[in-house]
Structure 1
Amino acid sequence: MTDEPWVPVPAGSGFGIENLPYGVFARPGELPRVGVAVGEAVLDLAGLAAAGLLDDRRWFASGSLNGFMAAGRTAWLAARARITQLLTDPAHRSQVEPHLIPLPQVELLRPIEVADFVDFYSSIHHAANVGQMFRPHANPLAPNWRRMPVAYHGRAGTVYVSGTPIFRPWGQRREEHELEPTHGPSRRLDFEAEVGFVAGVPSAPGHPLPPAAFRDHVFGFLLVNDWSARDIQMWESRPLGPFLGKSFATSISPWVVPVDALEAARVTPPAQDPPVLPYLRHDEPWGLDITLEVELNGHVIARPPFASMYWTPPQQLAHATVNGAPLRTGDLFASGTVSGAEPTERGCLLELTWNGTEDLVLPDGTTRTFLEDGDTLTIRAHAPTATGARLTLGEVTGTIHPSPAAPAPAMAGGRRPITGGHP
């Protein structure tokens, strides 16, 4: 057996033997099942298990990763080691090759059943830019920002897999020059380039998790686009936090990269000043050298560096459970917008256009301040491996569509016209 896979892996694909991300797929006329991406194919784990080549507890003949994620790190490591063996030992080739399916022949589905969704606000560059826009004569960072990872709870039911159409949301919005709010489609639709992690092993109520428990509870990482209607968000976030401006859609990539696949990408995160409270301290460096790439209508508009994030994933996990809230299998935690120090590293249009005051000029001569109907936004990311190759976190993409059902106009007395069905 060698360390090289016998499966063809094109140069630069990012789906080499160092990666082996998990996902859920289906072929026409067949039920969903769990697979692993390798090269230009998906390895059918349910098929391998049925053939007796892979240990299984009915994890893989499933429409989600949740059962396997709940099994714990011992099972995760054993499966990863066995899959690596099957793909690198030529003696297994004749048995395994029938379970390799070309990616164009499958539909990639949402990989997890989302339990809860939390979105953090962990980039100091993003937070400072937003603070400077909206509080130009005050400290751009709120007093608590350097003390704890700030976050909001999102809506699990509107977390969609990459490629799902994104419909422009309706809501209340009021521009600065308007005296009264109006109701209508968002005029300031935005994306947020983020990296998320998903919990596998749950925790007990009342028992906070320390940062050192991260590997034992977290299954892997994926890409997130937390779509944001900035005008709706700004009007409703007075005084509480995001609600309808965020809850209409969040997109995730179809592949979940195991935590262990990113060991070689761990780097020292930015220094934290003032020192954090004891429950947020951890000795290991848990910055991640992940570079994101944001593409709008085929044009790269930003390359945000995840290594610059002020708060690390283990600190986010510790803070999310410090009040005794239990962790559940399928809990999704997103980083918040990833932005770097340079203008070309900003991870949303709010920053790239400075709240719509500066046009973003694309290479084809078109301009944007916020997203328009028909726009397609794609986020990709890659990270280094121990062999010097790059692994990919895949991509998350979405195309903006107009709302399919604008609210009907009200009639006198507050009634609406009957258009069919029951009144």
Structure 2
Amino acid sequence: MPEQSSPLDLPEGDPFGPHNLPYGVFSTADEPDRRRLGVRIGGHVLDAGAAAHALGSPYAALLAQPSLNPLLAAGRTAWRDVRRALTGWLTVPAHRPVVEPLLHPLDAVTLHLPYEVADYVDFYASEHHATNVGRMFRPDGEPLTPNWKHLPIGYHGRAGTVVVSGTDVVRPAGQRKAPTDPAPVFGPSVKLDIEAEVGFLVGTPSELGRPVALGDFREHVFGLTLLNDWSARDIQAWEYVPLGPFLGKSFQTSVSAWVTPLEALDAARVAPPARDFPLLPYLDDSGEEEPGGFDLRITVTVNGEVVAEPPFSTMYWTAAQQLAHMTVNGASLRTGDLYGSGTVSGPEVGQRGSLLELTWNGRDALELADGKRTFLEDGDEVTLTAWAPGPDGTRVALGEVTGRIAPSPAA
């Protein structure tokens, strides 16, 4: 009989090869209530805790957890040691007899939100997105507000409504008022939108009253994940003056089931776009040894059709600058804090990361195979995928984010 191939014998160029190794949490059909820390390799997930125990790792207890949070809290040395160990377990042939029985096919497991979200903050860091929005809503004024290029603008979201990819998005209801309406009305949102973003996950906490410097980004941020900040544009437009986003954003935020470690993206680090003028010292990254940007290529599909390909490398504010600004007033970080980049949009029409921009607030409908779209309809399914350049010409794939729109119970 021919020798059976191993799930560790991956096709050449597999973007989930040993150069990637994102973390997630899974359960199996025979033990649905037992959540385990897993690492993705190709089309399988490794039971990380079981492998660590079987191979005598000093981190066995840390990996035998139902959540990423204990590993996040362990700090950068542990992150590096565990990643190095996992790489060896999955690439050294002598480990195969132990490791292979601990691999589960992805289509045979259930994936869960892999961490407990402590706080959630979302930023507004794409100059192209902010300019488009400004032109739409302030056609007679400057597209960017006076503060935009001086600081990363953001808002605090709702940690309890961050959900894992695959969770339905129930259409939110709320107040809305068009400019020509005499009074507001209540009902389901009619301008439900997406925001294609990248989320950054904090591991090591910080002390209250002590800002985090630009150069300490790697000491605190464990990795990144794709993120869709669903937005009800009609609810948002009526409520946001004078305090900003609230119910138009807080109903749901979807994230990938996989967290990609920062180390997997070393080859994807790039310089951010040129700045127009000097920044204040705590945000000035001109002297940093490591470039602050990431070369991530995002694809947005609606019902399986590509509608946009936003490039993350165009983001004006970097994740390190966002972290520094978020803590400059002395606010502390907690393990499990999540912050979003803000909508990723590029200079071209096909690179816009929201339907608000793609349809210019509903003026220009998208032509899809199943009909025209200005904003999302019930039953629509949105998926974000992305990849980045990896070592030696490889690609590093990020875990996808998918959500399907379910009808509002208020309809």
2:8 matched residue in structure 1:
7
- Secondary structure (helix, strand or coil) at the match of 1:178 reads coil
Please point out which of 109, 131, 136 is paired with 2:134: 131
1:75-90 map, 5 Å = 75-90=78-93
**Structure-1 separation of matches of 2:179 and 2:9:** 57
1:107 matched residue in structure 2:
110
1:298 matched residue in structure 2:
304
1:297-336 map, 5 Å = 297-336=303-342
2:293 matched residue in structure 1:
287
For 1:355, the aligned partner's letter is N
Cα-to-partner distance string for 1:167-187 (whole Å, 9 max, x where unaligned): 000000011221110000000
- Secondary structure (helix, strand or coil) at the match of 1:84 reads helix
What TM-score do you get using the length of structure 2 for normalisation? 0.96
1:231-380 map, 5 Å = 231-282=234-285, 283=288, 284-362=290-368, 364=369, 366-380=371-385
What TM-score do you get using the length of structure 1 for normalisation? 0.93
**Structure-2 separation of matches of 1:186 and 1:161:** 22
Q: Is the 8 A contact 2:201 2:221 kept in 1?
A: yes
**Structure-2 separation of matches of 1:239 and 1:194:** 25
For 1:112, the aligned partner's letter is Y
- Secondary structure (helix, strand or coil) at the match of 1:32 reads strand
Report the RMSD for the aligned CA atoms in angstroms. 1.3
2:71 matched residue in structure 1:
68
- Secondary structure (helix, strand or coil) at the match of 1:387 reads helix
**Structure-2 separation of matches of 1:161 and 1:63:** 15
For 1:396, the aligned partner's letter is V
1:23 matched residue in structure 2:
24
Per-residue deviation, 1:286: 1.2
- Secondary structure (helix, strand or coil) at the match of 2:163 reads strand
Cα-to-partner distance string for 1:183-217 (whole Å, 9 max, x where unaligned): 00000000000001100000000000001001111
For 1:366, the aligned partner's letter is G
2:3 matched residue in structure 1:
none
- Secondary structure (helix, strand or coil) at the match of 2:391 reads coil
Please point out which of 378, 385, 401 is paired with 1:396: 401
For 1:80, the aligned partner's letter is R
Per-residue deviation, 1:238: 1.4
**Structure-2 separation of matches of 1:225 and 1:155:** 14
The answer as to 2:176 corresponding to 1:170 is no
Identical residues among aligned pairs (%): 58
For 1:63, the aligned partner's letter is P
Per-residue deviation, 1:348: 0.4
**Structure-2 separation of matches of 1:318 and 1:267:** 19
**Structure-1 separation of matches of 2:220 and 2:226:** 19
Q: Is the 8 A contact 2:202 2:336 kept in 1?
A: yes
**Structure-2 separation of matches of 1:168 and 1:8:** 43
Per-residue deviation, 1:54: 3.0
Per-residue deviation, 1:59: 2.3
State which drifts further: 44-53 or 372-381. 44-53
Please point out which of 406, 410, 418 is paired with 2:410: 406
State which drifts further: 136-145 or 48-57. 48-57
Per-residue deviation, 1:359: 0.7
**Structure-2 separation of matches of 1:398 and 1:6:** 29
**Structure-1 separation of matches of 2:42 and 2:228:** 25
Q: Is the 8 A contact 2:7 2:44 kept in 1?
A: no
Per-residue deviation, 1:61: 2.5
Per-residue deviation, 1:11: 4.3
For 2:72, the aligned partner's letter is M
Q: Is the 8 A contact 1:9 1:15 kept in 2?
A: no
State which drifts further: 91-100 or 300-309. 91-100
Q: Is the 8 A contact 1:60 1:68 kept in 2?
A: yes
Per-residue deviation, 1:96: 1.1
For 2:53, the aligned partner's letter is A
**Structure-1 separation of matches of 2:330 and 2:240:** 26
Per-residue deviation, 1:63: 2.3
Q: Is the 8 A contact 1:129 1:351 kept in 2?
A: yes
Please point out which of 360, 383, 390 is paired with 1:385: 390
Across the two proteins, how many residue pairs are aligned to each other?
Answer: 401
Per-residue deviation, 1:6: 8.0
Q: Is the 8 A contact 1:294 1:347 kept in 2?
A: yes
Q: Is the 8 A contact 1:32 1:61 kept in 2?
A: no
